[in-house]
């Protein structure tokens, strides 16, 4: 959302280039940072083998989703991402009814993603303090909440007043992550005592309380599912990068394939470095990977540097998700999908940015943080809803293409999947269904009020919110784009009509 570029005007400078778009995609997907945290949560359900093989299988399925996105991105250049791809592919008579909940799913999914990133940053900041002062208590929820709010506010400030610096920060975060990954991979391979290969590749661990190891492995797959959810982050930059129809498919494939390599190597390296699991899990830092680094290297300083790396990594990821959720919300509001849409798309007189479209999701993330203040269980349910919302919005383009056989997909010489298209769509849809099912399952047995998975209740509450939004405003104003229309049909204040590429679109006078 560049302050001086107009959508559809190829002569104006774009905020993001190829490498900065790849960096944002790297950090919104963020396998290195995500797996460093979530891997130790999943060890009770299947152990390291379930995580390794689950991650490989998940990446194969996710590549199918990305190929579907690439096919769409080569034809449509709009900031709506997966939501707009679905809009363009749905037959006219069903477009409004299907596109509306999909827009909400994608929007809420990115809000929950940002909340998860901010929570990880909060934990790592307190973990860093504990590494420096071992008597510091990292379990105080009000301390976590304050750091959480501070990082949410910092991302909002950059999104409002530091937007031109975001690509540079994302590049810095990406380079730091890549160098840290290489450095600590070598350090652990050289210094760490090694676990038995059977612990990494064969032995199934089941501490879930369920009698079936197969069911425990199924539950353990959620660690892999949750780690690779920020799939369409680069797609929301379509209006801010040069030649999006050419570059976006490449960006998305480069991101997922490189993250696959990083993820497999890092899981194996961490798995072989686990020799005292009880001490790692019960660390006073609250972050098991920090204790693993300390044990493996015999150096508290190495653990401190790794913690700083995690803060840079997940902080950059939080900034990337803040950028993405604001862009998606702006695109959805242009279509009349949210509350008070005319206000959300209104450009501020001085800065020419949609101040409320950027501020609203940050405020919602702060509200989610109130749940974080009082209950881990409730907050985890909201993060579980993130996976559900994301995967439904990601899987729908493939589902529509499968049902309609791509009848509404424009002809193009680029990114045609040929005879592989139906298998790719089927894998994408099947994987999406599996993720939804697993995200609703309780992770331990017997099920109590403390360990119950409340994701389905969270989804029910948000469904009620969507119905109310549709009833009071959506059914009157919601107008999903057709082909490459990018805003609602009625011209609102701040927009002018411009001819571009043989189609009529409504162009903001000052694109954010």
Give Cα 118 distance to the centre of its chain. Answer: 12
Instruction: Check residue 484 and give its pLDDT.
Output: 54
Could you tell me which of 8, 111, 130, 31 has the C-alpha nearest to residue 357?
111
Angle at 480 between CA 367 and CA 81, to 5 degrees: 65
Instruction: Check residue 500 and give its pLDDT.
Output: 35
Instruction: Check residue 8 and give its pLDDT.
Output: 35
Residue 423 CB burial class (10 angstroms; 0-12, 13-18, ≥19): exposed
Could you tell me which of 34, 33, 22 has the C-alpha nearest to residue 167?
22
Q: How far apart are CA 76 and CA 245, in angstroms?
A: 7
Determine the 3-state secondary structure of 505 from DSSP: strand
Instruction: Check residue 15 and give its pLDDT.
Output: 65
Look at the alpha carbons of 82, 84, 88, 93 in this order and tell me if their dihedral is positive or negative: positive
Question: H helices within 274-375, ranges in order?
Answer: 277-281, 288-297, 300-334, 341-344, 355-374
Residue 134 CB burial class (10 angstroms; 0-12, 13-18, ≥19): exposed
Q: Which uninterrupted H or E stretch holds 400?
A: helix 376-404
Q: How far apart are CA 237 and CA 257, in angstroms?
A: 20
Q: What is the pLDDT along the chain (512 residues), one digit of tens a residue?
A: 433 333 333 443 466 777 878 887 888 788 898 888 888 877 878 888 989 998 999 999 999 999 999 998 888 877 777 878 888 888 888 888 888 888 888 888 889 889 988 998 999 999 999 999 988 888 888 888 999 999 999 999 988 887 778 878 888 888 899 999 999 999 999 998 888 999 889 888 888 777 788 888 888 888 888 788 877 778 877 777 888 888 888 888 999 999 999 999 999 999 999 988 888 888 888 889 999 999 999 889 999 999 999 999 999 889 888 888 888 888 888 888 887 777 888 877 766 778 888 899 999 999 888 887 777 777 778 778 888 888 998 899 999 999 988 778 888 778 888 889 899 999 999 999 999 998 888 877 787 777 778 888 888 888 888 888 888 878 888 888 766 544 333 323 333 333 333 333 333 333 33
The pair of structure tokens assigned to 389 is 């919302």
Give the alpha-carbon dihedral of 302, 29, 124, 452, to 10 degrees.
Answer: -130
Instruction: Check residue 14 and give its pLDDT.
Output: 61
Look at the alpha carbons of 401, 402, 403, 407 in this order and tell me if their dihedral is positive or negative: positive
Q: How far apart are CA 220 and CA 409, in angstroms?
A: 37
Report all structural domains of the chain as residue ranges with CATH numbers, in order of start.
Answer: 18-504 (1.20.1740.10)
Look at the alpha carbons of 453, 454, 457, 461 in this order and tell me if their dihedral is positive or negative: negative
Instruction: Check residue 381 and give its pLDDT.
Output: 80
Phi, psi of 348 (to 5 degrees): -65, 140
Q: How far apart are CA 282 and CA 343, in angstroms?
A: 49
Q: How far apart are CA 435 and CA 387, in angstroms?
A: 8
Q: Is residue 283 a contact partner of residue 111, using CB atoms and an 8 Å limit?
A: no
């Amino acid at each position: 959302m560049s302050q001086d570029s107009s959508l559809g005007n190829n002569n104006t400078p774009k905020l993001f280039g190829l490498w900065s778009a790849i960096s944002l995609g790297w950090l919104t997907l963020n396998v290195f940072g995500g797996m460093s945290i979530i891997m130790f949560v999943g060890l009770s359900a299947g152990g390291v083998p379930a995580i390794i093989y689950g991650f490989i299988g998940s990446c194969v399925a996710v590549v199918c989703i990305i190929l579907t996105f690439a096919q769409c991105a080569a034809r449509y250049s709009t900031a709506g991402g997966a939501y707009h791809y679905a809009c363009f592919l749905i037959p006219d008579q069903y477009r409004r009814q299907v596109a509306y909940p999909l827009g909400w799913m994608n929007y809420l999914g990115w809000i929950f993603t940002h909340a998860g990133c901010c929570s990880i940053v909060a934990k790592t900041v307190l973990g860093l303090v504990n590494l420096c002062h071992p008597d510091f208590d990292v379990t105080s929820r009000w301390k976590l909440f304050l750091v959480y709010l501070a990082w949410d506010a910092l991302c909002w400030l950059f999104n409002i007043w530091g937007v031109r610096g975001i690509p540079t920060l994302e590049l810095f975060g990406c380079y730091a992550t890549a160098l840290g990954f290489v450095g600590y991979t070598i350090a652990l391979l050289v210094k760490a005592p090694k676990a038995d290969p059977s612990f990494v590749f064969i032995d199934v661990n089941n501490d879930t309380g369920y009698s079936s190891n197969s069911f425990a492995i199924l539950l353990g797959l959620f660690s892999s599912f949750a780690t690779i959810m920020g799939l369409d982050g680069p797609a929301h930059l379509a209006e801010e990068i040069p030649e999006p129809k050419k570059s976006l498919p490449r960006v998305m494939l480069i991101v997922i394939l490189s993250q696959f390599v990083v993820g497999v190597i890092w899981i194996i390296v961490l798995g072989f470095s686990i020799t005292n699991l009880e001490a790692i899990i019960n660390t006073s830092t609250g972050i098991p990977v920090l204790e693993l680094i300390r044990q493996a290297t015999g150096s508290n300083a190495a653990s401190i540097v790794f913690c700083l790396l995690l803060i840079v990594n997940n902080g950059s990821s939080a900034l990337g998700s803040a950028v993405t959720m604001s862009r998606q919300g702006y695109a959805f509001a242009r279509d009349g999908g949210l509350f008070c849409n005319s206000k959300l798309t209104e450009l501020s007189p001085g800065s020419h940015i949609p101040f409320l479209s950027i501020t609203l999701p940050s405020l919602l993330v702060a509200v989610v943080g109130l749940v974080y203040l009082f209950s881990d269980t409730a907050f985890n349910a909201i993060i579980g809803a993130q996976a559900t919302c994301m995967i439904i919005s990601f899987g729908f383009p493939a589902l529509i293409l499968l049902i309609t056989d791509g009848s509404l997909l424009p002809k193009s010489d680029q990114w045609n999947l040929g005879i592989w298209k139906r298998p790719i769509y089927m894998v994408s849809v099947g994987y999406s269904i599996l993720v939804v099912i697993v995200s609703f399952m309780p992770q331990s047995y017997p099920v109590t009020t403390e360990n119950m998975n409340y994701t389905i209740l969270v989804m029910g509450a948000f469904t009620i919110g969507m119905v109310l939004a549709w009833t009071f405003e959506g059914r009157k104003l919601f107008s999903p784009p057709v082909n490459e229309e990018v805003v609602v049909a009625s011209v609102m204040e701040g927009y002018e009509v411009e001819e571009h590429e043989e189609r009529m679109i409504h162009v903001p006078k000052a694109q954010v």
